Amino acid sequence: MKKIRGQKILCLGCGPNLYDDIQFFGNIPKEIVGIDINKNNINFLKKSTHPNILKSKRVLENKKIKVKLIVGDILKLKREFINQFDTVYAIGVVGMFRENKLKKLLNLIYLYLNPSGLFLDVDWTECQLSDEKYKERQNFEWYSKDGPTIKKIGKLIVQTNFKIAKHLVYNVPNKKEYLWGKIYGFLAKK
Ligand SMILES: C[S@@+](CC[C@H](N)C(=O)[O-])C[C@H]1O[C@@H](n2cnc3c(N)ncnc32)[C@H](O)[C@@H]1O
């Protein structure tokens, strides 16, 4: 997350945790755009009165960071995003799409970055959830086992013309407890 840098940042599938992410960025951006298909996540970020959310909002205001929250499908082109971002990142999002959708998404990310932009993907795999819990998450479009292998995702990133700057895979020792077997990351440059 410290590799996230620049003035304008895009978070794909931001979920309800967007404000937490910002404290880990490598620098304080001017603007962060969060997009998620689930309106409940966006409404939560906009309207929650949970003390932690209010505190995060105050920090953002004090640092004059503009936040734009959008309900939308990241698989659909947003023309206004083209060449706009210094970093595009996604946590727990990219790895859940089937190959054809993932290819499309990677091409869109490439388009959205400015010429020296960075793309960060952090993901997890080897799901250990019970069938019931997995189905629940799948219904919410929160997670899917349909995505390609880590190796294949790396290949698709390279095929999109990105250069992989860093790639790490963490083998979770207590996967039954943690509910995921591997956490991995790709940092790629346009
Ligand atoms: C595992 S959650 C990760 C949320 C957040 N990034 C985090 O780290 O907590 C996956 C997120 O992707 C969102 N999502 C799934 N499909 C999407 C799509 N096609 N367009 C936009 N968001 C999507 C879900 O609504 C959910 O918030």
Q: Is residue 1 part of a domain?
A: no
Q: Is residue 24 part of a domain?
A: yes
Number of domains in the chain: 1
- Residue 106 CB less than 6 A away from ligand 1: no
Q: Is residue 47 part of a domain?
A: yes
- Residue 125 CB less than 6 A away from ligand 1: no
pLDDT at 142: 86
- Provide, rounded to the nearest whole percent, the portion of the chain with pLDDT above 70: 100
Binned at pLDDT 50, 70 and 90, residue 95 comes out as very high
Q: Which atom of ligand 1 is nearest to the CA of 140?
A: 25
Closest CA to 112 of 52, 55, 70, 169: 70
Q: Stretch 101-111: mean pLDDT, rounded?
A: 98
Q: Is residue 118 part of a domain?
A: yes
CATH number for position 50: 3.40.50.150
| Residue 146 pLDDT greater than 90, yes or no | no
Binned at pLDDT 50, 70 and 90, residue 145 comes out as confident
Q: Is residue 3 part of a domain?
A: no
pLDDT at 116: 93
Q: What's the chain's average pLDDT? A: 95
Domain that holds residue 15: 8-189
| Residue with CA closest to ligand 1 atom 20 | 73
Q: What is the dihedral of CA 150, 3, 138, 36, to 10 degrees?
A: -140
pLDDT at 44: 96
Cβ neighbours for 21, distance < 8 A, ≥ 6 positions apart: 1, 4, 11, 14, 89, 91
44, 57, 157 from 48: Cα distances, Å: 5, 10, 36
- Residue 42 CB less than 6 A away from ligand 1: no
- Residue 13 CB less than 6 A away from ligand 1: yes
In sequence order, what E strands does 27-97 have? 31-36, 66-71, 85-91
- Residue 36 CB less than 6 A away from ligand 1: yes
Within the chain, residue ranges assigned H as helices are 18-22, 39-47, 51-62, 99-112, 131-139, 150-159, 175-178
Q: Stretch 58-79: mean pLDDT, rounded?
A: 96
Q: Is residue 2 part of a domain?
A: no
